[in-house]
Amino acid sequence: MFRQVDIQFEDFAIDEVLGTLKANTSAAGGFCFFAGVVRDMNDDEEIKSLYLEHYPEMTEKQLHRILDQAEARFGLLGAIVIHRIGSLAARDNIVLVAVAAAHRGEAFSACEMIMDYLKTQATFWKKEVTPEGDRWVAARGSDLSKEAAWGDSSA
């Protein structure tokens, strides 16, 4: 499987990612993309900006473990995960999960599974800057339920 994991301060361009995936997965006919963007409101408070911290020695390894599982389960032909770190403004891009498979079914499912695992297993933390001050974002119980719905996870 073709794969690329990037943790970066810079923005990303979805058309470039599609081009890279297509160029490296000649047998793929289905591509699925998920993009996560900074919201301008959360819990009824205005979000001015977001700070993203991560565990540099671990994050990339953990994302590769997640891709290992998606590859084994769905026979993916390619996957690119890009996650930004540092200071981001409202409406900035945060994360992109792009997958390539022979057909759409595997692509939709793999993209969703990678994203669900990323939310609960990848070592990133968000801090929101609001007019009321800074606050660390709390993990959501619903994210654990979505992860669990995929069954056994050994990442």
Partner 1 sequence: MKVLFFASLRETMACSELAWTSDQPDNVASLMTQILLPDGQSLASYAETESLLIAVNQQMVDGDTALNPGDEVAFFPPVTGG
Instruction: State the residues that interact with partner 1 by CB under 8 A.
Output: 36, 52-55, 57-58, 61-62, 83, 94-95, 115, 118-127, 136-139, 155
3-state SS assignment for residue 153: coil
Choice between 3 and 126, CB closer to partner 1 = 126
Distances (CA, A) of 9 to 5, 32, 74: 13, 23, 30
Q: Locate tokens 């699925």: which residue?
A: 32
Q: Are strands 86-89 and 49-54 parallel, antiparallel or unpaired?
A: antiparallel
Q: How far is the CB of 114 from partner 1 (least distance, A)?
A: 10
8 A C-beta contact, residue 116 and residue 146: yes
Nearer to partner 1, 13 or 37 (CB): 37
How many angstroms separate the first and last alpha carbons of the chain?
18
The least CB distance from residue 65 to partner 1, in Å, is 9
How large is the greatest C-alpha to C-alpha distance in the chain, in angstroms? 51
Q: How far is the CB of 102 from partner 1 (least distance, A)?
A: 26
CB distance 11 to 92 below 8 Å: yes
Residue 23 CB, shortest distance to partner 1, in Å, is: 26
State which residue, 31 or 124, has the beta carbon closest to partner 1. 124
Q: Quick one: 58 or 72, whose CB is closer to partner 1? A: 58
